[in-house]
A and B are shown apart, each in its own frame.
Chain A
Amino acid sequence: MSLRVIKPGLLTSIQDLGRKGFQQHGVIVSGAMDAYSLRIANMLVGNKEGEAALEITLMGPTLKIEKNCLIAITGGNLSPTIDSQAVPMWKPVYVKKGTILRFAGCKSGCRTYLSVAGGYAISTVMNSKSTYLRGEIGGYKGRALKVDDVVDFNETSTILDNREFKEAFIAPLWFVNEKEFMPNRMPVIRFVDGSQYDYFTDSSKVSFAENLFKVSNQSDRMGYRISGPLLELQDKRELLSEAVTNGSVQVPPDGNPIILLADSQTTGGYPKIAQVITADLPLIAQVKPGEAIQFSRVTLKEAEQLFLQKEQQLNELKVSISLALKKQHII
C-alpha cells in the first residue's frame, strides 16, 4: 500500500513521456501534456526523467500517503496542502506515512505532476506506462483514478523507510526556478507553418498570428478548441487523411482551430494552418479553458534552436539537482 485515493479530482491519470512507435497502428502517443514539468518532477526525486507520474488536472485529488516517501510536485500550482499547510513545489519533499495530501484549488496553470522516488508500480503496455483513456489501456487499469484506488510505489533503496520524522513533511530550502518553465499570464505560443499553411487566405494567416484566441470549454488532453477570428481556406478542397501530431493546429470547416495535444488521434483530414513548436507544447498544457493564447510565427530553424536550448537547460538542471540531492543525502 502506498497511495490511496480519497477523492479522485477532475482528471488524475498516470502519464510518462508517451507511447511511441505504434502510431501506424492507430495507437496514440498519450503522455504528459507538460513534458518538461514531468521530467523535472522525476529529476527532483532521483528518477529517470521519463518515469511515470500522476498528472493532475485543475481540481486535484485528495490522496492518503500510506508509506514514508520522497515526492515532488511541479507544473501548475493547484495548491497542494498537508494539514492545511502549503506543500512547497519544485523541490523534493519527504512525506510521512499516514499523511493526507490535498489540492485546495487552482492558483496558476492547469496541470500538476506528482512524482515519487522509485516511481509508481505500473506495468508497461506497448513500452509505456501512460494511460490511454479512450483506448482503456496503460496506466492504472487503463483509466483515470477513482475513489479507493490504491497505487503502489516501486521499492526504492533509499533511507526513507525506517526514518523517523516528526513533521508530516520536510523539504530542503532550494528549489527549481519555475519561471523558466511556466507560462506568463498571457502565453505566447510559437508555431511553424502547418502542412497546409498556404491553403489559407492571406487574411486568415495574418489573423492567426495577430489575434488572441480563447481556449474553449471543449478542451481536453486530446485537443484544445480555440476561438478567435474564423480562419478560411482560399478555396474549398478535400484533404485526404494523413498523420497529425501533438501541436498540429487543424482547422475544421467551421473555421475555429483545434490544437491537437498529447492524446491527439494519429491521423486527421482537416487542413493544418500551424504546428506548435515542441518547446512551447508544455506551455499550452498549463493554459485553462477561458484563457487566451497569442500565437507567434517562427522559422523551423528557430524552432529547432529553441528546442535544443530547452534541452540544454534541462540537462544543466538535471546535473545541479543531482548534485544537490547527493550533497544533502536526500537520495
Chain B
Amino acid sequence: MPEKLLNKTTCVLSPLGDSAIVITFGNEIKYDIHKKIKMFMDLLEDEPFVGFIECVPAFTNLTVFYDPLVIYKKQKQSNNHECISPYEVVRSILERKLQWLKEDKKLTHRTVSIPVCYGGEYGPDLEYVARYNNLTTAEVIHIHSNGEYLAYMIGFAPGFPFLGGLSEKIATPRRSSPRMTIPTGAVGIAGMQTGVYPISTPGGWQLIGQTPTKLFLPNVNPPSLLQAGDIVKFHPISNQEYNEIILKEGLQ
C-alpha cells in the first residue's frame, strides 16, 4: 500500500450500545488486521481522550468503552447545544485519531515461553490427538512445542489467550462432550486453536498437557501474563520439572 496514513474507509465504526464503539478493521484472522488494532489501541492508551475507560482488542476489531456522562459534560462546556450525542462525539474523536495511525510502523512483539508437561495425567487427550492425526504422541509434542503462536486477544476467562498459528497437522475438533472441569494451566487444542486455561472452568478442548506457570495474576498489574500481540512458545518439561516449578511458585 503506497499510502502511509490509514485511509478512513478501511475501517467501520459502529455502536455497541450507548457506552462503547466498535472499530472494525477487517473480517478475517490476519496479521495486518491485528497490527492495525494493536497500533490504534496503543495510540488510544498513550493519549486517552476525556471519558475514555478502556479498550478490548479482538481478532478483527477494537471495542472502545467510554463514559457517556463525562463525554456529555465535557461537550456541554464547549458547546451548549440542546442535543448532544456522546456516541457522535466519541466517533469524531476516534475518526480524527484514526488519521494519525501510521501503517509503516513495525510492531514489536514480546516472546513468552510457557513450560508444558505433555501427556499422561496432565494431557489426557494427547493420545486421541495423535490418533486423530495419524501421528505419534512424540510427534504431536514436537509440532506443538515448535510452533510460534500470536496472541490475538485475551478473553473468555481472565488471562485466556486466543492463539493463532496452530499447525494443521495437529488440529483436532473439540470433544463431543465437554468436561465439567478443566484444571488451571491445562493446555488444549480446539480445531485450529490452541490455548491455556488460566482458571478452572468447564470446557470441551482436547487437553494435551498442563503448565505450572500462572497466566492469571490478580495481584500484579497487568493481571494477565499474556497480552494481545505477544508471541507465545511452548517448551516441554518433565514431570519432575513441573513439580519443581509448582513448588517454587507456591513459595513465592
Task: List A residues at the B interface (Cβ < 8 Å).
Answer: 20-28, 125-126, 134-137, 192, 195, 240-243, 245, 247-248, 265-267, 275-278, 300-301, 303-305, 307-308, 311
Give B115-158 interface residues, CB cut-off 8 Å to A.
153-158
Contact for B17 among A20, A137, A242, A245, CB less than 8 A: A245
CB contacts (< 8 Å) of A243 on chain B: these are: 16, 20, 22, 56, 58, 61, 63, 155
B166 to chain A: closest CB distance in Å? 16
CB contacts (< 8 Å) of A301 on chain B: these are: 83, 85
CB contacts (< 8 Å) of A134 on chain B: these are: 157, 199, 201
| Interface contact B53-A20, CB-CB below 8 Å | yes
User: 7 A-B contacts, Cβ less than 8 Å apart?
Assistant: A23-B54, A25-B158, A28-B158, A243-B16, A243-B56, A243-B63, A301-B83
> How far is B198's CA from A137's CA once the two chains are assembled, in angstroms?
14
Task: Say yes or no for B194: interface residue by CB 8 A criterion.
Answer: no
Given contacts A24-B56, A24-B154, A26-B158, 4 further A-B contacts (CB under 8 A): A135-B218, A241-B153, A245-B19, A300-B15
CB closest residue in chain A, given B52: A21
CB contacts (< 8 Å) of A23 on chain B: these are: 54, 56, 65
| Interface contact B223-A25, CB-CB below 8 Å | yes
> How far is B157's CA from A248's CA once the two chains are assembled, in angstroms?
17
Q: Given the known A-B contacts A135-B216, A300-B18, A300-B87, are A241 and B159 also in contact in the complex, defined by CB atoms under 8 Å?
A: no
Task: Say yes or no for B14: interface residue by CB 8 A criterion.
Answer: yes
> How far is B53's CA from A276's CA once the two chains are assembled, in angstroms?
19
Contact for B69 among A22, A136, A308, CB less than 8 A: A308
Task: Say yes or no for B242: interface residue by CB 8 A criterion.
Answer: no
Q: Contact flags (1/0) for B192-228 with A, using CB distance below 8 Å?
A: 0000001101000000000000001011011110011
A319 to chain B: closest CB distance in Å? 16
> How far is B14's CA from A183's CA once the two chains are assembled, in angstroms?
30
| Interface contact B18-A265, CB-CB below 8 Å | no
Bin chain B's interface residue count: 35 or more
Give B219-248 interface residues, CB cut-off 8 Å to A.
219, 221-224, 227-228
| Interface contact A307-B155, CB-CB below 8 Å | no
> How far is B19's CA from A219's CA once the two chains are assembled, in angstroms?
24
Q: Given the known A-B contacts A243-B22, A265-B157, A304-B86, are A24 and B55 also in contact in the complex, defined by CB atoms under 8 Å?
A: yes
Q: Contact flags (1/0) for B21-60 with A, using CB distance below 8 Å?
A: 0100000010000000000010000000000011111111
> How far is B87's CA from A265's CA once the two chains are assembled, in angstroms?
24
| Interface contact A20-B16, CB-CB below 8 Å | no
| Interface contact A192-B18, CB-CB below 8 Å | yes
Task: Say yes or no for B183: interface residue by CB 8 A criterion.
Answer: no
- Most A-side CB within 10 Å, residue of B14, B87, B155, B201: B155
The 10 closest A-B pairs by CB, nearest first: A267-B155, A243-B63, A25-B224, A275-B17, A242-B58, A243-B56, A26-B158, A240-B59, A303-B18, A137-B218
CB contacts (< 8 Å) of A300 on chain B: these are: 15, 18, 85, 87
Contact for A241 among B19, B155, B218, B222, CB less than 8 A: B155
CB contacts (< 8 Å) of B20 on chain A: these are: 243, 245
CB closest residue in chain A, given B19: A278
> How far is B53's CA from A267's CA once the two chains are assembled, in angstroms?
17
| Interface contact B154-A26, CB-CB below 8 Å | yes
| Interface contact A25-B222, CB-CB below 8 Å | yes
> How far is B51's CA from A62's CA once the two chains are assembled, in angstroms?
41
CB contacts (< 8 Å) of A245 on chain B: these are: 16-17, 19-20, 63, 65
CB contacts (< 8 Å) of A192 on chain B: these are: 15, 17-18
> How far is B216's CA from A192's CA once the two chains are assembled, in angstroms?
34
Q: Given the known A-B contacts A135-B216, A267-B156, are A241 and B57 also in contact in the complex, defined by CB atoms under 8 Å?
A: no
| Interface contact A27-B17, CB-CB below 8 Å | no
> How far is B48's CA from A21's CA once the two chains are assembled, in angstroms?
12
Q: Given the known A-B contacts A245-B65, A265-B155, A300-B85, are A195 and B22 also in contact in the complex, defined by CB atoms under 8 Å?
A: yes
Contact for A22 among B54, B68, B83, B201, CB less than 8 A: B54
> How far is B222's CA from A27's CA once the two chains are assembled, in angstroms?
10
Q: Given the known A-B contacts A25-B158, A192-B18, are A304 and B54 also in contact in the complex, defined by CB atoms under 8 Å?
A: no
| Interface contact B17-A303, CB-CB below 8 Å | yes
CB contacts (< 8 Å) of B29 on chain A: these are: 240
A246 to chain B: closest CB distance in Å? 9
CB contacts (< 8 Å) of A137 on chain B: these are: 218
CB closest residue in chain A, given B222: A25
CB closest residue in chain A, given B201: A134
Q: Given the known A-B contacts A195-B22, A303-B17, are A26 and B59 also in contact in the complex, defined by CB atoms under 8 Å?
A: no
Contact for B160 among A26, A126, A276, CB less than 8 A: A26
